[in-house]
Amino acid sequence: QVQLQESGPGLVKPSGTLSLTCGVSGGSISSNNWWTWVRQPPGKGLEWIGEILHSGTTNYHPSLKSRVTISVDKSKNQFSLKLTSVTAADTAVYYCARGRHTAVAGSASIWLQPWGQGTLVSVSS
Amino acid sequence: QSVLTQPPSVSAAPGQKVTISCSGTSTNIGKNYVSWYQLLPGTAPQLLIYDNDRRPSGIPDRFSGSKSGTSATLGITGLQTGDEAAYYCGAWDFSLSAVVFGGGTKVTVL
């Protein structure tokens, strides 16, 4: 079964770039899935960051679009997140997940499973 | 401020039932399918319900989902101490072209 694991620095300086990688095991990143990043700031709810297909097609949350890049590395079976110009508001647990998209009669069905365990990234000097 | 609205907390005694509401608009829940997730501290989030009312393999039938108009509901019957967790609803939003989540509901077993 597919498993995902986040990795990357746990501390980033303000105005710096947050970089995380999600390793995919038990399945191919070239499968027809949307590889997704979600975050949860301390004491707050989930926030969808964006997603990528193995082809490189991406979707980003409009509030983060100017600062986010999600990329895929098929040779390493992993995908990555880069978030630039970070502030304390970007402090959060960052999760990667596999997304499934379907459409039925014009209605979108999107669900995320499995997820990684999450990694806490703090933005502080 | 989350796009979808959930109650901050619900509680019930062991063996009882709780329901969690998730309210949205015509651009998200009103048009698209809803999924539900369970977040336990220190563990990977778990998909409980997808396509409004379908359970993935391995999810017990104590968990159920429904949708009507621009609202969805998660039900948990036979409440157990292990169900103490935060629960989130999610759906695609056509206006934002993004997945939106509720603010989360903390379930407490009394």
Q: Are the beta carbons of B92 and A110 separated by less than 8 Å? A: yes
Residue B30, chain A, CB below 8 Å: the answer is no
Average pLDDT, chain A: 96
Residue A103 is predicted with a pLDDT of 87
3-state secondary structure A35-90: EEEEEECCCCCCEEEEEECCCCCEEECCCCCCCEEEEEEHHHCEEEEEECCCCHHH
Q: For residue B31, list chain A residues with Cβ-Cβ distance below 8 A.
A: 106-108
Residue A106 is predicted with a pLDDT of 87
Residue A105 is predicted with a pLDDT of 85
Q: Are the beta carbons of B31 and A108 separated by less than 8 Å? A: yes
Q: Are the beta carbons of A107 and B100 separated by less than 8 Å? A: no
Q: Is residue B42 very low, low, confident or very high in pLDDT (cuts 50, 70, 90)? A: confident
Least Cα distance to B4 among B97, B107, B90 occurs for B90
Question: Model confidence over B58-105: pLDDT tens digits?
Answer: 999 999 999 999 999 999 999 999 999 999 999 999 999 999 999 999
Question: Model confidence over A19-44: pLDDT tens digits?
Answer: 999 999 999 999 889 999 999 999 99
Q: Is the pLDDT of residue B1 over 90?
A: no
Question: Model confidence over A50-93: pLDDT tens digits?
Answer: 999 989 999 999 999 999 999 999 999 999 999 999 999 999 99
- Rounded to an integer, what distance in angstroms lies between the CA atom of residue B7 and that of residue B51? 21
Q: Are the beta carbons of A45 and B88 separated by less than 8 Å? A: yes
Q: Is residue A12 very low, low, confident or very high in pLDDT (cuts 50, 70, 90)? A: very high
Q: Are the beta carbons of B101 and A48 separated by less than 8 Å? A: yes
Residue B2, CB-side half-sphere exposure with 13 Å CA sphere? 27
Q: Which of B43, B97, B102 has its CB closest to that of A45?
A: B102
Give B23's strand partners: B5, B71
- Rounded to an integer, what distance in angstroms lies between the CA atom of residue A110 and that of residue B35? 8
Computed on alpha carbons and rounded to an integer, the radius of gyration of chain B in Å comes to 13
Instruction: Determine the residue among B20, B87, B99 to mutate to test chain A binding: the one whose Cβ has the most chain A Cβ atoms within 10 Å.
Output: B99
Dihedral pair phi/psi, residue A102, rounded to 5° = -140, 165
Residue B95 is predicted with a pLDDT of 95
Average pLDDT over residues B17-26: 98
Q: How far is CA B75 from CA A47, B15, B48, B60, in A?
A: 23, 13, 11, 12
- Rounded to an integer, what distance in angstroms lies between the CA atom of residue B101 and that of residue B90? 4
Residue A39 is predicted with a pLDDT of 97
Handedness of CA B66, B50, B93, B17 (dihedral sign): positive
- Rounded to an integer, what distance in angstroms lies between the CA atom of residue A26 and that of residue A73? 16
